[in-house]
Amino acid sequence: MLFRWFYRFFLVALATGLLAALLVVFAALVTLPSLPSLETLTDYRPKIPLRIYSADNLLIGEFGEERRDFIKIEEVPKSLKQAILAAEDDRFYQHYGVDYIGVLRAIYSNFKAGGAHQGASTITMQVARNFFLTKEKTLTRKFSEALLAFKIEHSLEKDQILELYINQIYLGQRSYGFSSAAQSYFGKQLTDINLAEAAMLAGLPKAPSRFNPIVNLERAKTRQQYVLKRMHELGYISAEQFARAKETAIAIHRRVKVFAMPADYVAEMVRQIVYDRYREEAYTRGIKVYTTLRKTDQEAAYRALRKGVMEYDARHGYRGPEAFLKLPKDLKDREALQDIMQDIGNSDDILAAVVLSATPGAVEAFRKNGETIRITGDGLKAAHRFLSNDPKIGEKRIRPGALIRVKKTEKGSWQIVQLPEIEAALVAMDPNNGAIRALVGGFDYHLNKFNHATQAWRQPGSSFKPFVYSAALEKGFTPATIINDAPLYLGPEQTGGKAWEPRNYDGKFSGPIRMRTALTHSKNLASVRILQAIGPAYAQDYATRFGFDKKHHPAVLPMALGAGSATPMQMAIGYATFANGGYHIHPYFIERIEDEHGNIIEQARFATAGRNAKQVIDPRNAFLMTSMMQDVVQRGTAARARALKRNDIAGKTGTTSNAVDAWFCGYQKDLVAVTWMGFDEPRSMGNRETGGQAALPIWIDYMATALKSIPVAKTSSPKGIIVAKINPETGMRDIFGTLNEYFFQEQLPPEMDYSFQDPEFTDQTESPMF
């Protein structure tokens, strides 16, 4: 009877097992045709972001949802491979996609623990899930995952599968793949990590957010110790290695400075171009763009611009706290204080802080990084009025809850500063081929993404005069031509608008002066008379040779004073023509574009001065203009630039009416740079805020670094230039003259006539005067 019962039980169990097997086979037959193709794996193309580099191969920008670096399996450190196997799938090289022993072990472990504490997914199953399936915990998904794992194992080698896993898995901090994670967490290349770091990385796939060492280092270390223990148990590492790795200190890298240099405006310019050409693929196919920027130049430009803007801001006084925040009841509750500052960003070294207490002698403030700082002495100097009981200050007084900005001094103490309202731009290029060496489009890209270097159409003021003077040289003027710097009234028919009575900046008149002197000291009245003599229409047409558009520079007399509009980039292009001997070049900032394999898919094509660029002005004209603009630097409105102690630099200041815009455009034969300053909503920058005061210091600070290793250039005059002594009062050649001047050989002025001398008669010969 008992035997018959066991026999029946056996038959039922056998039938149930066969039925279950048939159902599994049937389910497999039904599911297999619907499984995705493995083409994604066999032709693996990871989503690698667009990366942008400087000319010195330094990363300056990255665009894409996933931060990823592909690495071949042969380059992966052995310690990391072993750590991954120990943590995720120690029988990876023995099973065929599904580890039945691992499944049984997981069932036993979970039964013993009284819950689901251990999974049985193999590395191959995780690859299947990461590439093709969702993460929902259903029997159907698990079944599909197992079938896909078999299919993958049948199609790929084990090392290929492991390579896919190492490059695809998400590991937190926007990092996909272990190579990217090594950069994010340790600031290292994957090939440089040690055993302790390998174990910490291998512990991440289980729960990237939970074991993120940046968020919770202690929890990450606990997981790391488990991985190291498993590696020791499996014989991957010795007891000595195990003990040493457990004690190895982990230095976590927090990406404060993500890129090698501050070049956000250029990175965005590149992104727009690449996206226009490749659309969404731009962010996923691993395109690399190499720009013409140089680290030394770009960093110098960035520092110079911020320094110049902050100096302007300091000249015009502190405006009071940025805002007022509601403080928590307990001022010692750091988490609560950090919460109220969560959405307030810093601007490089200009840091946000909320005031906890304030007296005329000291301010205590809390920074969002958790630090409480104390500001005293000179650190309060800029804001002293806002710490007083002056009734005019009213609600703007610095008090608890005030949001202020602070900055560390060179001595390490804190001072109260503020975010500036004014903006600025700097663009520098090689005048011989148009390669952009530095470009800063504003004070802080994250505060104002408008690129003032390429998008800000502003009046160039007197910085436009050299183009009018160059046109005058073509019309027969010489640097010695006498111009009358005297009062001038112009009716509406002459200005194209309202009646106009131009003035010099200092309100004075110099009378008859040479054209060189007029440019050196930026004499407005003389400049208008020059334009009158050559004709506004001629000057307008002539300016197009330098890349200017007629529609932005109406043919009216105010054009002599830069009443049109131009961008800093356009001004740099124009001045490059003077610097390179008369050639028009086109600016470019992308040197080459490479695909994910390093193949060049686009290469810059540029025209070079003296080779294949178009000559637009006589090289003698460029030489004379450079000579005159060198005087602007040595003894004129840009004399502050003598601090550079070079005689090979030339340039011109520019200040518009009411000091709305300030410019300096200058160059050396191998580098041209333009600086601009002004408000986004045009308004006066204040009394005496000229191009020489506001824009020139930025240019000087930049050039001091950019030209540091470049020797002073020795220039020689081009063929067809004659040097002659002149009388400074008449501009005529004079054998007794006290000045040497350059002339086109066909435009030598007449000589002074000393053939008849009478004690009661002095020479009355008149020179041409306009």
Q: Mapping DSSP to helix (H, G, I), strand (E, B) and coil, where does residue 643 land? A: helix
* Tokens (6 digits) for 374: 């104390």
pLDDT in the model for residue 31: 42
> What's the mean pLDDT in 191-211?
92
Per-residue b or e along 591-608, where b marks 16 or more CB atoms closer than 10 Å to that residue's CB: bebbeeeeeeebebebbe
Q: How far is CA 695 from CA 255, 304, 567, 642, in A?
A: 33, 10, 15, 15
Higher pLDDT, 137 or 643: 643
> What's the mean pLDDT in 702-708?
97
- For residue 269, pLDDT over 80 is answered with yes
- For residue 393, pLDDT over 50 is answered with yes
pLDDT level of residue 27 (50, 70, 90 thresholds): very low
**Can you tell me the distance from the alpha carbon of 407 to that of 384, in angstroms, rounded to the nearest whole number?**
16
Chain centre distance of CA 115: 52
Q: pLDDT of 614-650, one tens digit each?
A: 999 999 999 999 999 999 999 999 999 999 999 999 9
Query: 304-313, 392-401, 522-531, 575-584: lowest mean pLDDT where?
Result: 392-401
Query: 29-33, 196-200, 261-265, 686-690: lowest mean pLDDT where?
Result: 29-33
pLDDT in the model for residue 764: 42
pLDDT in the model for residue 430: 98
pLDDT in the model for residue 440: 98
Q: pLDDT of 472-492, one tens digit each?
A: 999 999 999 999 999 999 888
Amino acid occupying residue 411: K
Indicate which residue of 88, 423, 689, 741 is catalytic. 88
462 is catalytic: yes
Q: pLDDT of 717-765, one tens digit each?
A: 999 999 999 999 999 999 888 999 999 999 999 998 876 555 444 444 4
pLDDT in the model for residue 22: 45
Per residue, the 3-state secondary structure of 667-687, as one string, reads EECCEEEEEEEECCCCCCCCC
**Model-level pTM?**
0.83
**Can you tell me the distance from the alpha carbon of 668 to that of 650, in angstroms, rounded to the nearest whole number?**
7
β-strands 67-68, 175-176: how paired?
A: parallel
74 is catalytic: no
pLDDT in the model for residue 562: 96
Percent of the chain with pLDDT strictly greater than 90? 68
pLDDT in the model for residue 715: 84
- For residue 137, pLDDT over 70 is answered with no
- For residue 691, pLDDT over 70 is answered with yes
> 661 phi and psi, to 5 degrees?
-130, 140
Indicate which residue of 54, 180, 184, 462 is catalytic. 462
pLDDT in the model for residue 144: 65
pLDDT in the model for residue 187: 86
**Can you tell me the distance from the alpha carbon of 767 to that of 770, in angstroms, rounded to the nearest whole number?**
10
**Can you tell me the distance from the alpha carbon of 344 to that of 651, in angstroms, rounded to the nearest whole number?**
41
> What's the mean pLDDT in 303-317?
97
- For residue 697, pLDDT over 50 is answered with yes
pLDDT in the model for residue 100: 66
Q: Is domain 72-208 given the CATH code 1.10.3810.10 in the classification?
A: yes
> What's the mean pLDDT in 137-154?
67
pLDDT in the model for residue 257: 54
**Can you tell me the distance from the alpha carbon of 73 to that of 166, in angstroms, rounded to the nearest whole number?**
8
Q: At what angle do helices 619-635 and 568-579 cross, to 10 degrees?
A: 110
Write 360-369 long-range contacts (CB < 8 A, 24+): 360/384, 360/387, 360/388, 363/387, 363/398, 363/404, 363/416, 365/404, 365/406, 366/331, 366/334, 366/337, 366/341, 367/406, 368/338, 368/341, 368/342, 368/344
Q: pLDDT of 488-526, one tens digit each?
A: 998 887 776 788 899 999 889 999 999 999 999 999 999
pLDDT in the model for residue 635: 96
Q: Is domain 326-417 given the CATH code 3.40.50.880 in the classification?
A: no
- For residue 107, pLDDT over 70 is answered with no
Question: Residues 429, 378: contact at Cβ < 8 Å?
Answer: no
Average predicted confidence (pLDDT) for the chain? 88
Write 253-258 long-range contacts (CB < 8 A, 24+): 253/183, 253/184, 253/185, 253/186, 253/187, 253/188, 254/214, 255/173, 255/184, 255/187, 258/62
